[in-house]
Amino acid sequence: MHHETAYRNLCIATREVALLQRVQDLLEWDEQTQMPPAGAAYRADQAAYLAGLVHQKQTAPEIGAWLRELAHSPLAAEPHGDTGTVIRCLQQDYEKKVRLPQSLVEELARLSVQGQQLWSEARQHNDFARFRPLLEKMVALKRQAAEALGYPETPYDALLDEYEPGASTADVSRVLRELRAALVPLVGALADSPQRPDTTILSRHYPIAAQQSLGQAVAATIGFDFSAGRLNVTEHPFCIGLGPGDVRITTRYNDHDFADGFYGILHEAGHGIYEQGLDRAHDGLPTGQDVSLGIHESQSRLWENQVGRSRPFWEYFYADAQAAFPQALADVPLDAFYGAVNDVRPSLIRTEADEVTYNLHILIRFELEVALIEDQLPVGDLPAAWNEKYQHYLGVTPPNDAVGVLQDVHWGAGLFGYFPTYALGNLYAAQFFAQAAQDLGDLEADFRQGQFAPLRQWLRQHVHQPGRRFTPAQLVQRITGQPLSHAPLISQLNEKYRALYGLS
Ligand code: ZN
């Protein structure tokens, strides 16, 4: 009976924290989509205050007492059951949170709001020097956080674990290197191919209103529920769940770039479908939460790439696209368009990179941020190190920092350890998709008819509904019967692109 009471109290307290966290998220959404620049200072105070309040509630002594009482109770006996999952995950979360001083949590929240604003200014003015002092402070604070959290080998382990529980720097490093070795021959073969798509098709004039309505219609067709979500414009596309029944996705538009806005929507809709697929009955508890950023990213990348860059997908949607953009697309055959959205070439901008070279952008960021956190690379040397790695891995050198080291918001926002989850997401996506195709039969025939529900329901059942019952590694093993591997991604890329580029 005692246990039941402790468990009930723990759940009430945890759901109260979730209420507050969604207020934080709403402020974050507003900051990225609506807030005028002059609002940043006050918003930073609000963010710091709320972060402190959340931290206080998460580390309250009674939480520790309830968890101790429950640790060896029958409620904790089944580690992947409902109550066992809640107790196990909250215990892990609690152990981490109590190690972080509240003052550090508040300072990081404040600096993150300032950092995002300053990053945006610095990028607009192509002025890394303006951003540098804040970034130095951010790196120092993140290192402090890593020291407080503790780590097995390198301080970066502690930061990575925040986003991908159970992953280590050494594992990620190995996976990314193996992936790179497998990608290099394909990238080389594609670069040498005489058969290249005409990408100028995608930079014709695409009126923004039509981009928005086509994007919304496609997102709704694959299963993003607009009665429980909405789409806004931002500088750096993202998705944020503000509670059951309210999932926000964002994109950016350029009237001479079809792919940026469209694939931004598709990507974020994939994240949104995951959020909307979580178990509402368990809202606010680990059983109703996403597992990790890597698994989250697998859902966005799967809809963006495995589905949204496939020929069957465009066989269904291309007539709609031609109707939306008659001037740009009336004279363009389906295969020319399909080739253009699958153009592979080394490029400067991660978010616009094709699915073959994308992971090399991640490898660069991963190596640089590990070096920053391990104090091997001074922030002042970062732009030069960035440019050198782009030359080394992709054979391109940014002409300026705005399209180089200043292109991503992450470091200004304090998101160290986040980038590798993008590459992990690509690997999980390929592995899940291969399994779904095996379980569901002819997915291509489904897509050709605009049928996306079978795939979406498969993902809901296998990936969304379990919440945090399993770690990312366990989830992959359970769903596919195999540990995480780069083999499915490499084989999908080889099959698709060798055909598209006329290689054997
Ligand atoms: Zn994403």
Residues 180 and 119 in one domain: no
Is 276 among the domain residues? Answer: yes
Residues 284 and 352 in one domain: yes
Residues 121 and 184 in one domain: no
What is the domain count for the chain?
A: 2
Structure tokens at 447: 């897509």
Structure tokens at 285: 């508890």
**Residues lining ligand 1 (ion), CB within 5 A?**
297, 300
Structure tokens at 14: 């945890």
Q: What is the pLDDT of residue 1?
A: 55
Whole domain around residue 57: which residue ranges?
2-126
The rounded Å distance from CA 299 to ligand 1 centre is 8
Determine which helix (DSSP H) or strand (DSSP E) holds 231, and give its type and residue range: strand 229-233
Distance CA 76, CA 74 (A): 5
Domain boundary among 91, 110, 126: 126
Distance CA 113, CA 47 (A): 8
Residues 364 and 487 in one domain: yes
Active site residue 268: yes
Residues 44 and 183 in one domain: no
Residues 184 and 76 in one domain: no
User: Could you give phi then psi for residue 483, rounded to 5 degrees?
Assistant: -70, 165
pLDDT digits (tens, 9 = 90+) for 193-205: 888 899 999 999 9
Report pTM. Answer: 0.94
- Which position among 31, 106, 107, 268 bears the catalytic label? 268
Q: What is the pLDDT of residue 239?
A: 96
Q: Where are the alpha helices (DSSP H) in 168-308?
A: 169-192, 208-222, 258-277, 293-301
The rounded Å distance from CA 410 to ligand 1 centre is 12
Residues 6+ positions from 452 with CB-CB distance below 8 Å: 221, 222, 223, 307, 446
The rounded Å distance from CA 268 to ligand 1 centre is 6
Residues 116 and 213 in one domain: no
Residues 318 and 440 in one domain: yes
Residues 115 and 203 in one domain: no
Domain boundary among 66, 95, 126: 126
The rounded Å distance from CA 396 to ligand 1 centre is 24
Domain boundary among 126, 141, 160: 126
Residues 341 and 462 in one domain: yes
Give yes or no for a contact between 349 and 403, defined as CB atoms under 8 angstroms apart: yes
Nearest residue to 418 (alpha-carbon basis) of 482, 353, 469, 350: 350
Residues 95 and 200 in one domain: no
In Å, what is the CA distance from 381 to each residue of 9, 55, 67, 134, 378? 50, 34, 46, 15, 5
Q: What is the pLDDT of residue 195?
A: 87
Q: Which residues of the chain have a pLDDT value below 50?
A: none
Residue with tokens 């031609």: 322
The rounded Å distance from CA 249 to ligand 1 centre is 11
In Å, what is the CA distance from 174 to each residue of 155, 182, 424, 456, 476? 17, 12, 12, 31, 18
**Most distant pair of Cα atoms in the chain: their distance:** 73
Residues 367 and 465 in one domain: yes
Residues 6+ positions from 1 with CB-CB distance below 8 Å: none
Is 362 among the domain residues? Answer: yes
The rounded Å distance from CA 330 to ligand 1 centre is 32
Is 489 among the domain residues? Answer: yes
The rounded Å distance from CA 296 to ligand 1 centre is 7
Is 140 among the domain residues? Answer: no
Is 162 among the domain residues? Answer: no
Q: What is the pLDDT of residue 351?
A: 86
Is 117 among the domain residues? Answer: yes
Burial label, 166 (beta-carbon count in 10 A; 0-12, 13-18, 19+): middle
The rounded Å distance from CA 376 to ligand 1 centre is 29
User: Could you give phi then psi for residue 262, rounded to 5 degrees?
Assistant: -65, -50
Q: What is the pLDDT of residue 157?
A: 97
Is 147 among the domain residues? Answer: no
Question: The CATH number of the domain where 293 resides is what?
Answer: 1.10.1370.30
Adjacent-strand bridge partners of 247: 229, 241
Is 484 among the domain residues? Answer: yes
